[in-house]
């Protein structure tokens, strides 16, 4: 869905940003043919280190993701995505709350705003900050765990805010237009306990101060 939206967006030679990349390259790969640079913006030291390693030569599991993207001719035309990611990616460490305003032409943020705190106001602030870092007219895609109760990695508990489609719609409503929100049900095959599905949203940033 993200590929199909980006591929007809008309954006080319753009500056893109993926916020909270973590150990995930497919949002960046989804922007690759449209971008001269893709900023991988991440908070944690260990993920920054991982991203530096992957930028040099991303590992083979990502080929399966590229194969899905390459079902669209714009992506298929990229001769060597590994080489292009190495050339175009910029890795920057920072917090979503410190992003500059109206800086990037296209953006993605996957599973970050609802997954960094258990406070709904922080969810809204993080999503607002992501939307504000994009220029008016910029296409974006964002994904969220629905009704997440957080998750554990080893002995460490990671927080989450239990959000639903209406929370995403409410936040996007004041900043974006042409909004699409899709709920991806995971009822029969959940990735883990403690959430009820995934939410994918895409649209374009509105001119500031307009409805």
Ligand X SMILES: C[S@@+](CC[C@H](N)C(=O)[O-])C[C@H]1O[C@@H](n2cnc3c(N)ncnc32)[C@H](O)[C@@H]1O
Q: Return residues touching ligand X (CB under 6 A).
A: 20-22, 24, 42-44, 47, 95-97, 110-112, 115-116
8 vs 184, beta carbon nearer ligand X: 184
In whole angstroms, the minimum distance from the beta carbon of 183 to ligand X comes to 17
Nearest to ligand X by Cβ — which residue? 22
Rounded to the nearest 5 degrees, what angle is found at the Cα of 75, between the Cα atoms of 19 and 132? Answer: 25
Beta strands in the chain (DSSP E): 14-19, 35-42, 89-93, 106-110, 139-146, 151-153, 156-158, 176-185, 197-205
Residue 41 bridge partners (DSSP): 19, 92
In whole angstroms, the minimum distance from the beta carbon of 44 to ligand X comes to 4
8 vs 97, beta carbon nearer ligand X: 97
Closest C-alpha among 65, 17, 61 to residue 42: 17
2 vs 11, beta carbon nearer ligand X: 2
In whole angstroms, the minimum distance from the beta carbon of 31 to ligand X comes to 13
In whole angstroms, the minimum distance from the beta carbon of 77 to ligand X comes to 26
| Secondary structure (3-state) at 205 | strand
96 vs 141, beta carbon nearer ligand X: 96
Question: In terms of DSSP bridges, do strands 106-110 and 14-19 run parallel, antiparallel, or are they unpaired?
Answer: parallel
């Amino acid at each position: 869905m993200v590929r199909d939206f980006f591929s007809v967006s008309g954006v080319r030679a753009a500056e893109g940003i993926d916020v909270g990349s973590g150990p995930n390259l497919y949002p960046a790969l989804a922007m690759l043919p449209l971008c001269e640079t893709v900023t991988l913006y991440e908070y944690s030291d260990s993920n920054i280190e991982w991203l530096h390693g992957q930028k040099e030569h991303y590992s083979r599991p990502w080929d399966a993701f590229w194969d899905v993207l390459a079902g669209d001719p714009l992506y298929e035309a990229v001769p060597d995505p590994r080489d292009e990611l190495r050339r175009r990616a910029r890795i920057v460490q920072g917090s979503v709350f410190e992003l500059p305003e109206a800086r990037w032409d296209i953006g993605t943020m996957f599973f970050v705003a609802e997954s960094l705190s258990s406070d709904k106001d922080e969810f809204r602030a993080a999503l607002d900050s992501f939307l504000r870092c994009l220029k008016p007219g910029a296409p974006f895609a964002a994904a969220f765990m629905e009704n997440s109760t957080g998750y554990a990695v080893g002995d460490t508990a990671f927080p989450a805010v239990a959000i639903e489609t209406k929370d995403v719609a409410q936040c996007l409503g004041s900043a974006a237009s042409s909004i699409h929100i899709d709920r991806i049900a995971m009822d029969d095959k959940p990735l883990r306990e403690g959430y009820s599905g995934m939410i994918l949203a895409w649209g374009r940033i509105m001119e500031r101060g307009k409805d």
